[in-house]
Structures are given as structure tokens and as C-alpha cells.
């Protein structure tokens, strides 16, 4: 029986670039306002990773310029980072899911997607290429490219390529894009993003210039957090496909026990031996002899084994309490800052560290609930605040236990760093309600709250002493004169004695000039 031509469907695959071209909204490029913010964010984060991860104090310059049409916006970001090898530049900027961050190590960028989405968005809306200039520290040349993406094949289109010899010791990357954007509506978000980036990176120089504003944040310290190191996968976090990939890349002559002890985080000879006894698999079976059924069983047992060590935090780079305090005091102008960096914890085999800071008073304006500054791997999160686990924890906390009565001049900073952050969506703007993370945020908030309560109590005592000092000082002269009339002794002697008693009572010196 012949098939009707009307019933036959045509089938074809989509490249990764074409998929995101069709679904750019899921990466945050949903409209001209959000797309402009997202473009700035992706470029700045790439620049910070290119400096911090290599121990370079960041010097960033961000420029926003309006184009020949009102909806055309040029974004340019310059950094002094490690640069990109000239032969890798086309793929780094012109191929979706290509980059240097597909390892177990904390970084701002993870998917190898963000900057490519900006390139795609520029192509879609203005038809213009991305301009890239870059050089590594020891390269003798500076490379310049103009690139677009072949959407159907997910590969770069090189429109212009130039290599020129270095005449100075410059290294870093300059990226320029022209996109469809709405600067008047995006301005507040973009400037707030830059301001919050300065809070979390007090060791960076950041210069921002837009059509109607200029922001300069000078480096407050030359101390940087230790850069993260690449880590091995943790046994709790493996699945069948990860095991298959790890086995494919391993020496096939290894025994199962040796493979486990050498491949996974926190697993040595002793733990590997205990695990093999527990799961009753043959520890001497060669990897080359493993069947799919063996791998499925191994993945199941690894998730169920209760005695793995926690993953070490070597792959993480938290800010630290001192740097948090410096950044917040300078940018927010707070009277008092309490900061806590919690000990490393883990969820699903992924290490994470929670940092929380409470900023009180000073230039912070009173509000009906705490102002929240959210960060994930040092990235400011400005959208979807109501969906974030931090907002949930803050709203559930009884602030009256810490002498905070709203409206109050209180700001809360929450930073979560991990090798795998549980975002709610590809837009990466809200952290999911993972119980382990929620607990750490809550404990850090309570610890900061206790410190804030001690500060508020101290300030209240100082104010009470000052009030009593003013109140009693009003009557010392009158009392001294009355005593002088009764006893016939000079009033100055009584005044001096009363001043001494008042000073001892209040624990501070009271001057005679303040009495009269």
C-alpha cells in the first residue's frame, strides 16, 4: 500500500545556534530592555573571569553609546585579562557551547552561551558582527576579528581578520557589539548592575560611561580572593552518563577500585575499599570488562553510599568577610556591617559556600522590608527576586528578635558560590529552594542578626547615656547654688562634686561648659 504524499512529514535537526536563535527568550534576550542589560552582564562577567581566575587585579571599562537610530545601542567592554589565543577567538565568540569553563570549578560563566547569545541577538536585530581585539600576556601579536555565527551550522563566519605585532605589553580583550536596545528604560538596571558588581569586587577598578552618566569605582584593596582550583567529580553527583564518560577517558587496564580512588573527589584507597565491600562489586574487575549493567549498578550504589566525605571547597572562591565589609561600606555608605562566610557545605555532591552581610544605617534609606542584594558566583542578580531562596528566608525571619523594627535602614547581601548553582531557569537570575542552601542562608542571617543586635544595643546605651547626661546637666548649677545657700560653702565645690558623680555614673567625662 503506497503512502499518501500528503501524510509524509519532513524532518531535520537543529544546531545549538539555531535552537537558541529560535528560543532566545530563555537566555534573557526577550526584549530590547532585558537584552541590553543581558549583553552588558555577559561581557562584564567574561572580563572579570578573565582577570580574577588568573590572579590579575581587574581594570574594566564599560561604554554605552547610542547609534544612528534611537533603538541602536553600541556596547563596548575592555579588560586587562589573560586574553584569548588568536586561533581560538573565532570559536569562542562564534560557536555556541564552546569555551574554557566546562570543568568543575567556580566561575561566572558556565554554559559557554551568554556571549554567543549577544552575538546572535546583534545579528538578528541590527545585522552587525561582533568586533573582538585580544592578546595573551606572552603573545607577540594582537588579533582583531569581526565575526558572525552561521546559525544553521553553529560555526563562526570570519568577516575580518588581522594580526599585528605588539608594540607595548598589553594583554586583555576588547569586545564591541551593536544591538537593538532601549537605553532609557534599561539605564536603571544596568547602572545598578555595575554598582553591585563594584560591591562584590572591591579589588577592581571599574569605569562606566553612558550617554547620560559616568560611574567610577576605584579599587579599595589589592587583596583578592584565592582563585578556585579545578576539582574532581564527587561520587554523590554522578549518574550513568557521567560514569560512562569518565570510564571512556580512563585507562581501561585500571581495576574498578583503582578507578574510584583516583577519579573522584575525597576518595582514597581506604574509602574506595570500604565502598567496594559495602556494594559487593568485584574491586579487581577491569574497566574494559564492565558492562552497561555494571555501570548502572555502580552509579546507583555511589548515590546510596552514606560514608563519602564532603567535597572540599578547593574549587570555590568566596569573597571573604573582610572584602565584603569593605565593598558594602564604600558603596552603600553603611554605619555598621556584619559579614559571615559560612563553612563549606554540599548538596547533591556539589560543594557550595554561603556568605551573608547585614548593612545598617548610614546612607541606607529606611524601608518596610530589608533591601536585598543577591549574588551567585559573584554575579549580581537583579531579576526574579521574589522567586529566589534568599528572599524566602529573609521574609520568614523574625527580625524583632534582633531589635529591628520596620521601616528600618537595613540591607542584606547574600552570596552563594558553587561549582553548580541550582538556578530557576536558563536566565540564571534566581536560586532554587534547595534545603541545604536555604539552611546555610538562614544560619548565616541569624549569626549576622546577633551581631547587629549587639551593635544596636550598644548604640541604644550610648544614646541613653547621652540623654541622661543632657537631662541631669541642666540641674547641676541650680542644685549647687541651693546647696551653697544652705551650707554657706562655695557653689563651685558642689558643682565639681556633682560633675564627678555624673561622670562616674555615665562612664564618661562631663565638661563644666556643658553644664552652664
Q: Looking at residue 283, what is its pLDDT?
A: 86
Q: Looking at residue 502, what is its pLDDT?
A: 66
Instruction: Give the lowest-confidence range in 27-31, 43-47, 249-253.
Output: 27-31
Calculate ∠ Cα 421-78-228, nearest 5°: 35
Per the model's pLDDT, the better-predicted residue between 121 and 59 turns out to be 59
**Mean pLDDT of the residues in the chain:** 84
Where does the pLDDT of residue 399 fall: very low under 50, low under 70, confident under 90, or very high at 90 and above?
very high
Instruction: Give the lowest-confidence range in 237-241, 283-287, 352-356.
Output: 237-241
Compute the average pLDDT of residues 452-470. Answer: 77
Question: How many C-beta atoms lie closer than 10 Å to residue 94's C-beta?
Answer: 25
Q: Looking at residue 103, what is its pLDDT?
A: 46
Per the model's pLDDT, the better-predicted residue between 168 and 256 turns out to be 256
Contacts of residue 146, Cβ cutoff 8 Å, sequence gap at least 6: 129, 130, 131, 132, 158, 159, 160
Where does the pLDDT of residue 6 fall: very low under 50, low under 70, confident under 90, or very high at 90 and above?
low
Nearest Cα neighbor of 357 from 379, 378, 372 is 372
Q: Looking at residue 21, what is its pLDDT?
A: 55
Tens-digit pLDDT profile for residues 474-494: 667 777 677 777 787 777 777
Q: Looking at residue 492, what is its pLDDT?
A: 74
Where does the pLDDT of residue 218 fall: very low under 50, low under 70, confident under 90, or very high at 90 and above?
very high
Q: Looking at residue 335, what is its pLDDT?
A: 92
For residues 499 and 494, what is the distance between their CA atoms, to the nearest angstrom? 8
Compute the average pLDDT of residues 261-280. Answer: 88
Tens-digit pLDDT profile for residues 403-432: 999 999 999 999 999 888 888 876 678 999
Q: Looking at residue 510, what is its pLDDT?
A: 42
State percent of the chain over pLDDT 70: 84
Where does the pLDDT of residue 317 fall: very low under 50, low under 70, confident under 90, or very high at 90 and above?
confident
Tens-digit pLDDT profile for residues 71-90: 899 999 999 999 999 999 99
Q: At what angle do helices 240-248 and 256-263 cross, to 10 degrees?
A: 100
Where does the pLDDT of residue 109 fall: very low under 50, low under 70, confident under 90, or very high at 90 and above?
low
Amino acid at each position: 500500500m503506497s503512502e499518501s504524499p500528503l501524510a509524509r512529514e519532513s524532518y531535520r535537526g537543529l544546531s545549538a545556534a539555531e535552537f537558541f536563535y529560535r528560543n532566545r527568550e530563555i537566555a534573557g534576550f526577550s526584549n530590547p530592555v532585558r537584552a541590553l542589560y543581558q549583553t552588558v552582564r555577559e561581557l562584564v562577567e567574561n572580563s572579570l573571569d578573565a582577570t580574577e581566575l588568573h590572579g590579575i587585579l581587574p581594570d574594566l571599562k564599560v561604554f554605552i553609546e547610542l547609534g544612528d537610530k534611537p533603538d541602536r545601542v553600541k556596547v563596548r567592554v575592555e579588560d586587562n585579562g589573560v586574553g584569548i589565543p588568536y586561533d581560538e577567538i573565532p570559536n569562542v565568540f562564534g560557536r555556541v557551547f564552546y569555551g574554557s569553563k566546562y570543568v568543575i570549578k567556580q566561575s561566572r560563566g558556565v554554559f559557554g552561551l551568554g556571549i554567543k547569545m549577544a552575538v546572535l541577538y546583534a545579528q538578528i536585530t541590527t545585522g552587525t558582527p561582533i568586533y573582538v581585539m585580544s592578546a595573551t600576556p606572552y603573545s607577540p601579536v594582537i588579533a582583531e576579528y569581526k565575526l558572525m555565527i552561521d546559525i544553521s551550522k553553529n560555526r563562526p563566519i570570519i568577516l575580518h581578520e588581522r594580526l599585528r605585532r605588539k608594540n607595548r605589553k598589553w594583554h586583555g580583550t576588547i569586545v564591541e557589539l551593536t544591538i537593538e536596545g532601549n537605553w532609557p528604560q534599561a539605564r536603571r538596571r544596568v547602572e545598578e548592575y555595575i554598582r553591585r558588581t563594584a560591591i562584590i569586587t572591591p579589588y577592581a577598578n571599574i569605569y562606566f560611561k553612558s550617554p547620560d552618566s559616568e560611574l567610577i569605582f576605584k579599587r579599595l584593596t589589592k587583596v583578592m580572593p584565592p582563585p578556585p582550583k579545578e576539582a574532581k567529580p564527587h561520587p554523590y553527583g554522578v549518574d550513568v552518563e557521567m560514569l560512562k564518560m569518565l570510564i571512556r577517558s580512563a585507562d581501561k587496564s585500571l581495576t574498578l577500585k583503582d578507578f574510584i580512588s583516583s577519579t573522584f573527589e575525597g576518595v582514597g584507597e581506604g574509602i574506595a575499599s570500604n565502598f567496594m565491600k559495602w556494594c559487593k562489586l568485584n574491586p579487581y574487575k577491569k574497566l574494559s570488562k564492565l558492562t552497561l549493567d555494571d555501570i548502572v549498578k555502580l552509579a546507583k550504589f555511589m548515590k546510596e553510599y552514606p560514608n563519602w566525605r564532603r567535597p572540599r571547597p578547593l574549587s570555590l572562591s568566596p569573597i571573604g568577610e573582610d572584602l565584603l565589609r569593605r565593598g558594602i561600606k564604600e558603596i552603600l555608605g553603611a554605619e555598621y556591617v556584619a559579614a559571615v562566610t559560612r563553612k563549606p557545605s554540599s548538596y547533591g555532591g556539589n560543594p557550595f559556600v554561603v556568605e551573608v552581610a547585614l548593612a545598617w544605617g548610614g546612607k541606607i534609606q529606611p524601608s518596610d522590608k530589608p533591601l536585598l542584594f543577591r549574588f551567585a558566583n559573584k554575579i549580581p542578580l537583579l531579576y526574579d527576586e521574589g522567586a529566589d531562596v534568599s528572599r524566602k528566608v529573609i521574609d520568614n525571619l523574625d527580625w524583632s528578635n534582633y531589635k529591628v523594627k520596620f521601616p528600618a535602614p537595613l540591607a542584606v547581601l547574600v552570596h552563594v558560590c558553587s561549582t553548580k548553582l541550582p538556578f530557576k531557569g536558563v536566565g540564571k537570575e534566581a536560586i532554587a529552594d534547595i534545603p541545604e542552601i536555604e539552611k546555610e542562608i538562614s544560619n548565616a542571617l541569624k549569626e549576622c542578626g546577633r551581631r547587629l543586635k549587639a551593635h544596636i544595643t550598644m548604640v541604644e546605651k550610648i544614646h541613653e547615656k547621652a540623654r541622661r547626661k543632657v537631662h541631669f546637666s541642666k540641674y547641676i548649677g541650680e542644685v549647687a547654688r541651693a546647696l551653697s545657700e544652705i551650707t554657706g560653702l562655695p557653689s563651685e565645690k558642689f558643682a565639681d562634686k556633682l560633675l564627678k558623680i555624673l561622670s562616674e555614673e555615665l562612664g564618661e567625662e562631663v565638661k563644666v561648659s556643658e553644664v552652664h
